[in-house]
A = this chain, B = another copy of it.
Amino acid sequence: MEHHLCPGFRFSGITAGIKKNNTKDLGLIFSETVADTAGVFTKNRVQAACVTLNKQRLTAGKSRAVVVNSGNANCCTGPEGMQDAVRSAEIIAGRLNIPGEQILVASTGVIGQRLPVSKIETAAPLLVEALSATGLYDFSQAILTTDLAPKIHSLQVDMDGVPVTITGVAKGSGMIKPDMATMLCFICTDAAGAPEVLQRLLVSGVERSFNRITVDGDTSTNDMVLLMAGGLSGVRLQDQSQIEVFQKALDEVLTTLAKKVVKDGEGATKLVEIAVTGAETDQAARIIAETVAHSNLVKTAFFGEDANWGRIIAAVGRAGLPIDPDKISIFFDEVRLVEKGRWCGAAAEAAATRVLKKPEFMIHIGLAQGHGRAWIWTCDFSIDYVKINANYRS
């Protein structure tokens, strides 16, 4: 694992016994300074205790640490669940010798079971002791559930001669359909910035990354993205040109992590970009792209490497928007398989089938109606998806 260390941040990840399979399940991010902090949270009406607690604590836009457990979502656990979340934060705060309110919490796993706080209490000394500037890989493993691989992306950007680091880590394996699992993402940077500046940066970046792999509002109970800005680089994000440079770098980290989440989707074997152009509006393009990206029929055809454009055009047709079937073009990467709503023939289909054998490709749907465009990243839908989700809790 090669990635840039983020000055001012330390990480750890250990096995606390919360998961059944004796793998890492408790992680900690610690900032040496009080970090300016922004957060984006699930829009699901059912929200886990960690989401509710963090929203309260982020009204001041500051934090020192995030404690994350996998194996238990601490959701639908009532007032006791909130007490468990607060208590977990207090346990770690005591060990770190900082106020409990400076700790944020995140949980991912099964809904409806009490968080085993005693296990967190037992594990706390080791968790804090293990903190290290190079502990990010351990942390990235501790937050996984059905993910096959940890997801880290880190970069440095030059800001007026000063190197600024942005380091991101994410988990989330269930983006084949957006309600499948919790998505968590933590971004650390040694820049600093007013909470409202950071919040705008984060909302904007998430819109172009994680919100491109999920439907607005169609989120799990625990989803969150946190941005912690510790400030050790001395760079404070204030003037517009600086903010733009940082936004671009942040977008790259978020987009890379978002695509890693799709690639590691439960049972996924292919990463597919669904691009829609020529719609009446960007919003219309987005709705059509999402309808195609969520069609089980389209996604099983990707898995079967079947250039079944009829399923794509049928999904376009049921998106609820006025479209003209006789104007639709469909490309598989550069191969045009449908022109003006009609099949381009066996040679084009053979070429499109070759595209489908690639691990990454684009389906481009041209509507020839206007200038609206949008894209969504999705994956194929495999037998393993069903196997994973039929047996998740057992």
Interface residues in chain A, defined as those with a beta carbon under 8 Å from any beta carbon in chain B: 43-47, 73, 75-78, 110-113, 174, 176-177, 179-180, 217-221, 295-297, 300-301, 303-304, 306, 308-311, 313-323, 325-326, 338, 341-343, 381-383, 385-387, 389-394
Contacts and interface: CB of A to CB of B under 8 A. Distances in A.
Given A46-B313, A76-B343, A174-B297, 6 more contacts: A45-B321, A45-B322, A75-B310, A112-B342, A217-B318, A221-B317
A57 to B, nearest CB: 21
Contacts of A313: 46, 76, 111-112
A309 B112 contact: yes
Contacts of A303: 386, 390
B310 A76 contact: yes
A354 to B, nearest CB: 15
17 contacts: A44-B318, A45-B317, A45-B318, A75-B310, A76-B341, A76-B343, A78-B326, A113-B343, A177-B297, A179-B296, A217-B320, A300-B386, A301-B392, A303-B390, A306-B392, A308-B393, A383-B383
A390 B44 contact: no
A78 B177 contact: no
A310 B338 CA distance: 42
A197 to B, nearest CB: 30
A111 B309 CA distance: 8
A103 to B, nearest CB: 25
Of the listed residues A308, A318, A321, A381, the one surrounded by the most CB atoms of chain B closer than 10 A to its CB is A318
A393 B46 contact: no
B306 A44 contact: no
Contact of A317 (B46, B322, B323): B46
Contact of A179 (B110, B217, B315, B320): B315
A342 B75 CA distance: 10
